[in-house]
Amino acid sequence: MIDVLYSGYSYQHESLVYDTERGRIGFESYHMLFTHTPALFWVDNELRQYPDRSVILFTPGHRKYYSNLPGQPYKNDWIRFDTDEEFIEAFPVTNVPFSPADPDFVHNLFKLIAWESNTNKATDDPEMLCLFKVLFAKLSDENVDLLNKPYQHELTALRRDMMLHPELDWDIASMAGRINIGRTRFQTLYKESFGISPIDDVINARVKLAKDRLKYTSRSVSQIADMCGYKSTEHFIRQFSKITGMTPGSFRHSGLDA
């Protein structure tokens, strides 16, 4: 049995704080969200920021708290429902946001559930049960191993920024500070998550950026070193040569793919 109490999708709030400890309804029901914007969630007795396109399944009796980031709008899809279906009760990750493998597919399933709930209110609706089974099967695929890793969302967001802007002054202290954990633990969690140390990741990203600029621009080696975040051209040449097996000048003249 699945009884969808309320559902909707792509609804935007200029400001929102949802907290079942402060008068919001839904404490005794399941509550599932798909966020379109970054949001704050109460997880493990602290307020944490999670990226857009996150999913969370709140269980009955658990505090449900989420809000917009300060000064930013909030947008999500949501389903509040009651159920006794075993595949939902046994879902392995609850009350913690995670990133689905196929967020667009998940969003479309939320839309279909909202449409179905508005046309058929029966709690034994077979079409609704099928939609929920597809949704929960999709959310289980490719995610379970990642869901239980601490700070996975924060680490993923950090790495995305590093890959987009490797030229910035990345160091262990500032990276660990961004996630608000100690440097040793940060380095351990980062390598467990991505199979590489954070500094080596930055170096590889800088070298990749340098390859692109050597191949597609006529800028000098010293200019490219500066653009890729190196304070010393000699240091840049040493790191580039160590990783690629050739100097930047030799790479440029070789015509190799970046």
Beta-carbon contacts of residue 194 (< 8 Å; ≥ 6 apart): 155, 159, 201
Q: State what percent of residues in the chain have pLDDT above 90.
A: 75
| Least confident among 143-157, 178-192, 219-233 | 143-157
* 170 close to 209: Cβ distance less than 8 angstroms: no
Residue 50 burial by Cβ neighbours in a 10 Å radius (0-12, 13-18, 19+): buried
> What confidence score (pLDDT) does residue 87 get?
95
**147 or 45, greater pLDDT:** 45
Kindly tell me if the per-residue pLDDT of 194 is higher than 60.
yes
pLDDT-based confidence at 151, cuts 50/70/90?
Answer: confident
> What confidence score (pLDDT) does residue 100 get?
83
Of the candidates 130, 104, 126, the one whose C-alpha atom is nearest the C-alpha of residue 36 is 104
> What confidence score (pLDDT) does residue 237 get?
96
Kindly tell me if the per-residue pLDDT of 129 is higher than 70.
yes
pLDDT-based confidence at 61, cuts 50/70/90?
Answer: very high
**Strand partners of residue 2:** 83
Mean pLDDT of the chain: 91
Kindly tell me if the per-residue pLDDT of 256 is higher than 90.
no
> What confidence score (pLDDT) does residue 258 get?
52
Beta-carbon contacts of residue 220 (< 8 Å; ≥ 6 apart): none
Beta-carbon contacts of residue 192 (< 8 Å; ≥ 6 apart): 149
> What confidence score (pLDDT) does residue 73 get?
96
Residue 164 burial by Cβ neighbours in a 10 Å radius (0-12, 13-18, 19+): exposed
CA 94 vs. chain centroid, Å, equals 16
Give me the domains of the chain, ranges plus CATH numbers. Answer: 2-144 (2.60.120.280), 152-254 (1.10.10.60)
Of the candidates 22, 84, 89, the one whose C-alpha atom is nearest the C-alpha of residue 59 is 89
pLDDT-based confidence at 108, cuts 50/70/90?
Answer: very high
Of the candidates 8, 10, 4, the one whose C-alpha atom is nearest the C-alpha of residue 52 is 10
Segment 45-65 shows an average pLDDT of 94
